[in-house]
Amino acid sequence: IAGQEGKGLMVGPEVIGTTLCRLPTTIHDLQKVEDFVVDAHQSPVGLLISLHGKFKEEESTPPLSYDRTFLLRPATPDSP
């Protein structure tokens, strides 16, 4: 959609940290490496990281899955 570029973009360590802290608490069993897949690709604009994993909202609930994609780009000299 035109004019939507950067909507929801989080910039800077304080804003990113605050945003992550507002996410609901979930349970991720990091010992079960088979529950997570990470893939990274270098692109002309930065590093593209794809993450697939499983989590639980509560210990007694069945696992749910999620996918997240991150694009890490170097900051430009005029960026905040």
Average pLDDT, the chain: 86
- The residues, ordered by sequence, that sit 6+ positions from 52 with a Cβ below 8 Å of its Cβ are 36, 37, 38, 65, 66, 67
- Mean pLDDT, rounded, for 67-80: 85
**Residue % of the chain over a pLDDT of 70:** 89
Residue 11 has pLDDT above 90, yes or no: no
Residue 32 has pLDDT above 80, yes or no: yes
Burial class (CB in 10 A: 0-12, 13-18, 19+), 22: exposed
6 vs 9: CA distance, rounded Å = 5
- Mean pLDDT, rounded, for 39-52: 94
Tens of pLDDT, residues 48-65: 999 999 999 999 999 999
